Amino acid sequence: MRLRPATIIGLGLVLAALVALGGLVATNAVVYYVTPTELAAKPVDGPVRLYGIVVGGSVSYDRASGVLSFRLSDGQTTEAVTSRFLPTALFRDGVGVVLVGRSTAPGAFSADEVLIKHSAVYQPLKPGETIPPDILQQIRGGG
Amino acid sequence: MTMRQRLIDPPAWTALIAVVAVVVVGLFVVPADRLQGQVQRIMYVHVPSAWIAYLAFFITFAASVRYLWRRDLAADRLAASSAEVGLVFTAVAIVTGSIWGKATWGVWWDWDPRLTTTALLLVIYAGYILIRGSIVDRDRRARAGAVIGIVGFANVPIVHFSVTWWRSLHQPPTIVRPGDPTIDHMLLGELLASVLAFSLLFLYLLNRRLELERARDEAEQALLMPS
């Protein structure tokens, strides 16, 4: 029985995908991100994703250098974060963010990407309701 | 079929009108989410597309089981047709999700468990179609397809539960979860209407694809017949 090249490519694709999937399930999807407490307990040397909540009132932006700074917390441990990445308009106090970057010192994290993990709650604005101020608007339009 | 006959196609018009109606309501009638703003409206295409893809691959799975059990070529035609339409809806879910992700997360793509397993779904069913297209013998084509149609379906629940089982960037389920859906009930109504409209579109496309598969089997039969 001779298989045509397209059959072999197709089988290769399906098998590769199933092996990748089996690997994801078996290793419990590796760990997509760590928390500040986990990072403090077991430092990672190299690129890592870090998840936490933006601490209220901690966000600042230096217009001259273009560096965004804020503190990130998981309720127990806090990291000081700096980044040149401009996050989306959903970035604000108390929002959950996934940082892609690396530790520069214990408790200090440099993020190449600041991704907003939005919730699965969808609600329209109630009459007269205002949403928390958009920090980025202040950053971008603040001068 | 003449051009005029082609224009008189009630299922096509029903599906088209339903999809246009939910898109108009989704864009202009229901309010947008308070935090995400206008981009959240893409949900009314993204979520139905993902669900229809699950449904399509389930049909492929069930029809594949039936083929292996009864050697029924009609079931094999259904399996093949549903997989192909399902692949289109998977692609739509990925593209709309990517646009939504860029506006909310800040990136077009990230290798989070939901996105990764969905990409693998695309690869599995692309492989399914490639393999079927490359096997000439009718019964071997159906058998190979049935095996992949059954094994490949294992990924569908993994895609769905990836956001519950594992840490991810993608938010957890809004509707298919224990307890009340975490969405305003007016928005939920529009979302369910969108799912219905996209289901009509799916049924229409599946039917047309099935006609094509039947015509193909007849043509192959005619070629094999000694004249």
pLDDT 10s digits, B154-166: 999 999 999 888 8
pLDDT confidence of residue A80: 97
With a cut of 60, say whether residue A29 has pLDDT above it. no
Question: Tokens 């991704």 appear where?
Answer: A115
User: A14 and B166: CB-CB below 8 Å?
Assistant: no
Across A13-17, B2-6, B120-124, B191-195, least confident range: B2-6
Q: Is-contact B200 B18, C-beta < 8 A?
A: yes
Amino acid present at B93: A
With a cut of 60, say whether residue B102 has pLDDT above it. yes
Q: Encoding tokens for residue B56? A: 């399509």
Q: Closest-CA residue in chain A for B180?
A: A121
Residue B87 lies in a domain: yes
Residue B132 lies in a domain: yes
The CA distance from A56 to B175, in Å, is: 30
pLDDT confidence of residue B6: 76
pLDDT-derived band at B12 (thresholds 50, 70, 90) equals very high
ipTM associated with this complex: 0.88
pLDDT confidence of residue B225: 79
pLDDT confidence of residue A134: 65
Beta bridge partners of A100: A49, A113
Residue B40 lies in a domain: no
What residues have CB less than 8 Å from B64, skipping those under 6 apart? B75, B76, B79, B145, B146, B147, B149, B150
Interface of B with A in 106-135 (CB under 8 A): 106-107, 110, 112-113, 116-117, 120, 123-124, 126-131, 133-135
The whole-angstrom distance between A108's CA and the closest CA on chain B is: 22
Which residue from B154, B152, B153, B172 is spatially nearest to B162, judged by alpha carbons? B172
Number of independent structural domains in chain B: 1
pLDDT confidence of residue A135: 67
Residue B116 lies in a domain: yes
pLDDT-derived band at B54 (thresholds 50, 70, 90) equals very high
CB burial readout A89-126, b (16+ within 10 A) else e:
bbbbeebbbbbbbebeeeeebbbebbbbbbeeebeeee
At B105-156, the pLDDT tens digits run: 999 999 999 999 999 999 999 999 999 999 999 999 999 999 999 999 999 9
Which residue from A110, A121, A45 is spatially nearest to A79, judged by alpha carbons? A110
pLDDT confidence of residue A124: 85
User: A131 and B35: CB-CB below 8 Å?
Assistant: yes
Q: Is-contact B104 B33, C-beta < 8 A?
A: no
Q: What is the mean pLDDT of residues A21-34?
A: 81
At A80-107, the pLDDT tens digits run: 999 999 999 899 899 999 999 999 999 9
With a cut of 90, say whether residue B58 has pLDDT above it. yes
Amino acid present at A115: L
Q: Is-contact B108 B100, C-beta < 8 A?
A: no
Give percent of chain A above pLDDT 70. 88
Mean pLDDT (chain B, rounded): 94
For chain A, what is the total number of helices (H) and then of strands (E)? 3, 6
At B74-91, the pLDDT tens digits run: 999 999 999 999 999 999
Beta bridge partners of A109: A81, A103
pLDDT confidence of residue A138: 65
Residue B12 lies in a domain: no
Burial of B175: CB neighbours in 10 Å, binned 0-12, 13-18, 19+: middle
Residue B206 lies in a domain: yes
Interface of B with A in 162-221 (CB under 8 A): 162, 165-169, 171-174, 182-184, 186-187
Q: Closest-CA residue in chain A for B107?
A: A115
Which residue from B84, B151, B85, B158 is spatially nearest to B119, judged by alpha carbons? B158
Question: Tokens 């990136």 appear where?
Answer: B107
Strand, helix or coil for residue A84 = coil
Which residue from A23, A22, A18, A29 is spatially nearest to B124, judged by alpha carbons? A18
The CA distance from B125 to B122, in Å, is: 6
CB-side neighbour CA atoms (13 Å) of A16: 12
The CA distance from B67 to B149, in Å, is: 11
Residue B145 lies in a domain: yes
The whole-angstrom distance between A127's CA and the closest CA on chain B is: 11
pLDDT-derived band at A141 (thresholds 50, 70, 90) equals low
The CA distance from A133 to B35, in Å, is: 11
At B13-28, the pLDDT tens digits run: 999 999 999 999 999 9
pLDDT-derived band at B174 (thresholds 50, 70, 90) equals confident
pLDDT confidence of residue A143: 37
Residue B36 lies in a domain: no
Q: What is the mean pLDDT of residues B41-46?
A: 96
Which residue from B112, B64, B103 is spatially nearest to B86, judged by alpha carbons? B64
pLDDT confidence of residue B91: 98
Domain with B77, as residue range(s), is: 45-170+191-213
pLDDT confidence of residue A125: 82
What residues have CB less than 8 Å from B123, skipping those under 6 apart? A13, A14, A16, A17
